[in-house]
Amino acid sequence: MATKTEDFRGKSEDQLKDDLIALKKEQFNLRFQRASGQLESTARVRIVRRNIARIQTVLRQRELASAKA
C-alpha cells in the first residue's frame, strides 16, 4: 500500500523516525529475498524505497523550517 506524503506530515518526528527504521529493515529483508530468488512482490521494493524518501523529505523540511524560525 502506497502512503501519501500528507499521511507522514500528520505524524510526530519520533513516529516518523520509527517508521523510517521499520522501512529500512523491510528494505534490507527485501534485498535478501530478491538476491535469493524468494521475492514474490517486486513492486514492494519500489514502494518501500519511495516511502523512505518521503519520510526523509518530510524530516528535512521540518529541519529547515525550524532553522528558519
Per residue in 16-67, pLDDT tens?
Answer: 999 999 999 999 999 999 999 999 999 999 999 999 999 999 999 999 999 9
pTM above 0.95, yes or no: no
Q: Rounded to an integer, what distance in angstroms lies between the CA atom of residue 45 and that of residue 27?
A: 7
**From residue 48, how far is each of 25, 53, 66 by CA, in Å?**
10, 9, 27
Q: Give the domain 5-68 fold.
A: Helix Hairpins (1.10.287)
pLDDT of residue 3 exceeding 80: no
Q: Where are the domains of the chain?
A: 5-68
